[in-house]
């Protein structure tokens, strides 16, 4: 198979990015969480609830289909999650009773951030977590990832105007997001490393 351009959306580990040897800067935030989805009998309806306690945080927010996600911070990584662990911690820290029998799944994560020295190499463009992983705590990773393929698609047919097109797309994305001053904003491409001298420019690209 041949293609003029490849858009790599293969997640934060991104084998494609590794294959291209694009340098990354990674930062682990050093905190650990266990999360599980429960059949929602909390009565909290559409509300998210956050509890910050001396023993660690508890987060809770609704998911579609009558499900609610509960996330508890743990002092370190947990390789084995005992049955009923989340319910126990939620009761200790938030005083809420969660029926362990209504738990549907569990998983663990530890937030990290990843920035790439360049968003492309040659005619391969990184998108989504392959290009920029961010802490899931802000709930923004997927939201930032979704517009990127469209942004890249706008650039691909005419590489020579790519930088300007990217800049316009990204500032439109920020405008549409309505981010208040000082809040997290999507960085313009140059700040993300999409600039001269970082990665071989795509053929025909005037950068």
Ligand X SMILES: Cc1cc2nc3c(=O)[nH]c(=O)nc-3n(C[C@H](O)[C@H](O)[C@H](O)COP(=O)(O)OP(=O)(O)OC[C@H]3O[C@@H](n4cnc5c(N)ncnc54)[C@H](O)[C@@H]3O)c2cc1C
Which residues of the chain form contacts with ligand X (CB under 6 A)? 9-11, 15, 109, 128-130, 136, 139-143, 145
Whether 185 and 194 have beta carbons less than 8 Å apart is answered as: no
Residue (135 or 205) nearer to ligand X, CB: 135
Backbone angles phi, psi at 18, to 5 degrees: -65, -40
**Shortest Å distance, C-beta 204 to ligand X:** 27
Distance CA 156, CA 28 (A): 33
The CB-nearest residue to ligand X is 128
Q: Please name the residues in contact with 112: beta carbons below 8 A apart, sequence gap of 6 or more.
A: 12, 26, 27, 28, 29, 133, 135
**Shortest Å distance, C-beta 131 to ligand X:** 8
Residue (89 or 207) nearer to ligand X, CB: 89
- Record the tokens describing residue 198, joined without a space: 């970082």
**Shortest Å distance, C-beta 206 to ligand X:** 28
Residue (141 or 188) nearer to ligand X, CB: 141
**Shortest Å distance, C-beta 197 to ligand X:** 26
Backbone angles phi, psi at 153, to 5 degrees: -60, -40
Distance CA 81, CA 83 (A): 6
**Shortest Å distance, C-beta 96 to ligand X:** 21
Whether 52 and 31 have beta carbons less than 8 Å apart is answered as: no
Among the listed residues 28, 177, 2, 23, the one whose alpha carbon sits nearest the alpha carbon of residue 109: 28
**Shortest Å distance, C-beta 119 to ligand X:** 13
Residue (32 or 93) nearer to ligand X, CB: 32
Residue (108 or 160) nearer to ligand X, CB: 108
Strands 6-8 and 124-126, sheet pairing = parallel
Residue (143 or 171) nearer to ligand X, CB: 143
**Stated length of the chain:** 207
């Amino acid at each position: 198979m041949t293609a003029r351009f490849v858009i790599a959306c293969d997640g934060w580990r991104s084998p494609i990015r590794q294959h291209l040897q694009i340098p990354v800067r990674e930062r682990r935030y050093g905190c650990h969480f266990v999360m599980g989805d429960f059949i929602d009998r909390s009565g909290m309806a559409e509300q998210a609830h956050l509890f910050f306690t001396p023993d660690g945080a508890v987060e809770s927010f609704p998911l579609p289909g009558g499900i609610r996600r509960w996330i508890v911070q743990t002092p370190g990584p947990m390789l084995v999650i005992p049955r009923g662990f989340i319910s126990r911690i939620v009761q200790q820290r938030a005083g809420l009773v969660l029926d362990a029998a209504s738990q549907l799944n569990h998983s663990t994560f530890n937030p990290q951030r990843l920035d790439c020295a360049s968003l492309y190499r040659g005619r391969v463009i990184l998108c989504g977590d392959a290009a920029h992983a961010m802490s899931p705590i802000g709930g923004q990773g997927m939201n930032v990832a979704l517009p990127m393929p469209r942004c890249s698609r706008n650039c691909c047919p005419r590489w020579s105007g790519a930088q300007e097109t990217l800049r316009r797309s990204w500032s439109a994305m920020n405008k549409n997001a309505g981010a208040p001053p000082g809040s997290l904003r999507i960085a313009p491409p140059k700040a993300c490393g999409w600039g001269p001298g970082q990665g071989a420019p795509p053929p025909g690209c005037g950068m």
